Amino acid sequence: MSKYSCEKCGMEFKQKSHYNQHLSRKTPCIKEAKLKEYIDKAVEEKINVMKQTLQTPELTIAPLTIAPLTIAQLTIAPLTIAPLTIIPAPTFIEVCAGGGGLSCGLMKAGFVPLLLNDNNKDCCETLKKNHPGIKVECASMDTLKLDEYINKVDLLTGGVPCQSFSQAGKRKGLKDPRGELMLKFADMIVILKPKIFMIENVKGLTTHDGGKTLIEIIKLLNKAELYNIEYRVLNSADYSVPQKRERVFIIGTLKTMDIVFNFPLKNSKPILLKHILQNLPESPCAKYSAEKIALFKQIPQGGCWVNLSEEQQKAYLGKSYLSGGGKRGILHRLSMEKPSLTLLCTPSQKQTERCHPLEERPLSVREYARIQTFADDYHFIGGMASQYKQIGNAVPVELARQMGECLKTALLA
């Protein structure tokens, strides 16, 4: 009879040495039947422990039955793609375009120019330089051939000459030859019938002849009674432009299109000169006389002639010293902590000085352009005086862009 039996596999041995040799084997000796018995016993013990812990009756889980899918259920409906709708960019014609502030802003807003017009050679060369491939007509606006643009113009716009309405000028209004161009613009509206027209002009237009001139112009622009017309005076400093510059914008929307136009919202935080008068490209710059430099050295930022001694004031102002009025534009030094005063066509007129905040000199051409929110790579053609004039007469690019965004929204609504 065997004396030794393995508890793992049940084998029996007569000799102890054989039994010991069996126990020391590296290969497991558990047989399948013994292994099943061993596992069943372990599982049963584990279930009993879980039952005691949860104190719940034994759970019976029904087997999960998954119905086989049919071919019909596997059929995928074909993908349908709606045809792509391409909305054409709105078009515009600009007359009296000058150096291109308004047109540049409109193009940034997504407008496509059909025609840009001015009668100044330098302005036209500036437009061609910065907008290659765009049609530029260098001629008086009343000589333009418009037949090819009928029913193709979304926006007709222009900075129709404003000197005749300026508060600083003689204010002859429509009787001035330059004021007659407003009549030509009205004729263009009748011919082209744009969906919207826009005129930019000086704030003085709203007060000229007690406001009667503005009423007369609006009647003139709407002589066919095709448009709803509104106007508003905007200060560029309220629209991310580092300059206090008030201009009136007259907007006419075609009645049959039922267009709703909203002016841009004001920005809460102004852009100051300290934000933009740095890291500028080199450019031409006008100069002051030695006498004026000596006076400006005594004037702080934001100050003017009133900061001089009374003797110096009388000597510099002459007869105008007793003329009354603020005259704060005389010997005025700009401040880094404020937007610029309105830039003019020349940087060093005695009545409207715009001295650099930190240096005794006028603003340079590129400083003028930066304040008018032109990009640094926007090039102006012509001599230094011509470049100053082009920039000083321009609509600030950023204001034009924001107006353009509102015009585009109105057209595409």
Residue boundaries of the structural domains of the chain: 4-46, 91-270+397-412, 273-393
Quote the strand ranges of 149-255, DSSP E. Answer: 155-158, 196-202, 227-235, 246-254
Catalytic residue among 96, 123, 124, 162: 162
| Of 407, 368, 381, 379, nearest in space to 108 by CA | 407
What was the pLDDT predicted at 69? Answer: 57
Secondary structure class of 165 (helix, strand, coil): helix
What was the pLDDT predicted at 287? Answer: 95
Residues of the chain with pLDDT under 70: 1-3, 26-39, 42-43, 49-77, 162-179, 325-326
Our answer to whether residue 162 is catalytic in this structure is yes
What was the pLDDT predicted at 177? Answer: 56
| CATH topology agreement for domains 91-270+397-412 and 273-393 | no
Alpha carbon separation from 331 to 271, 297, 356, 364, 392 (Å, rounded): 23, 11, 11, 17, 19
What was the pLDDT predicted at 394? Answer: 97
What was the pLDDT predicted at 49? Answer: 65
In this structure, are residues 239 and 398 in contact, taking their beta carbons and an 8 Å threshold? yes
What was the pLDDT predicted at 192? Answer: 96
- Looking at domain 273-393, its CATH superfamily turns out to be DNA Methylase, subunit A, domain 2 (3.90.120.10)
What was the pLDDT predicted at 76? Answer: 62
What was the pLDDT predicted at 25? Answer: 74
State pLDDT tens for residues 30-64.
555 565 666 677 667 777 766 666 554 555 555 65
In this structure, are residues 43 and 64 in contact, taking their beta carbons and an 8 Å threshold? no
Radius of gyration (C-alpha) of the chain in whole angstroms: 42
What was the pLDDT predicted at 168? Answer: 47
For the domain made up of 91-270+397-412, give the CATH fold. Rossmann fold (3.40.50)
In this structure, are residues 245 and 396 in contact, taking their beta carbons and an 8 Å threshold? yes
| Of 93, 96, 87, nearest in space to 192 by CA | 93
Task: Kindly report the backbone phi and psi dihedral angles of residue 230, in degrees, each rounded to the nearest multiple of 5, phi listed first.
Answer: -140, 160
Half-sphere exposure of residue 90, counting CA atoms within 13 Å on the CB side? Answer: 26
